[in-house]
Amino acid sequence: MVEQANIEKILSEYDRSKGAYETFVRKVEHLVAELISNASYKPHSITSRAKERSSLQTKLQKENSNYKSLADITDVAGVRVTTYFHDEVDRIAEILGKEFEILPEHSVDKRAALDPDQFGYLSLHYVVRLSPARRSLPEYRRFEKLLCEIQIRSILQHAWRKLNMILATKLR
């Protein structure tokens, strides 16, 4: 767990940066929507959020957390793409992989965690930053150090995740 003094430091850094993350995640959501539309795909939904302070605090207080600064947290900005069909996940991932710099050390393909005959939470999570070309543009330059987690999953997987969250809450 992160020491309390460091938690306060990170939360203070978050308070100063929240507006930038909110603007950044809206721009990334818009960019993702444009890229997908230009490739003639129509996903079920594209949503975004900047992590709420309370959620960040909870994350920092978890036993296994060891964050030193806000920059170590890869999901302060988050975009979710929900597709109609499972096979669209890989196609959209390919499109985004050409337009963003993917950080493989922070990204995870949760689809690989289950055997092919099992069903469960199967989502692709990319941690990205803007591509070098895009970071050089004046309208994106101020976001050059910010990261965003992009989750891509099918509507069936989205429903599965929601159902599990509801059941977990009721069983407590």
pLDDT one-digit tens code per residue, 59-115: 999 988 889 999 999 999 999 999 999 889 999 999 999 999 999 999 988 665 554
Residue 123 makes CB contacts below 8 A (sequence gap 6+) with: 110, 111, 151, 152, 153, 157, 161
What pLDDT digit, counting tens, does each position of 104-149 carry? Answer: 999 988 665 554 444 555 689 999 999 999 999 999 999 999 999 9
Q: What is the pLDDT at residue 9?
A: 96
Residue 20 makes CB contacts below 8 A (sequence gap 6+) with: 142, 143, 146
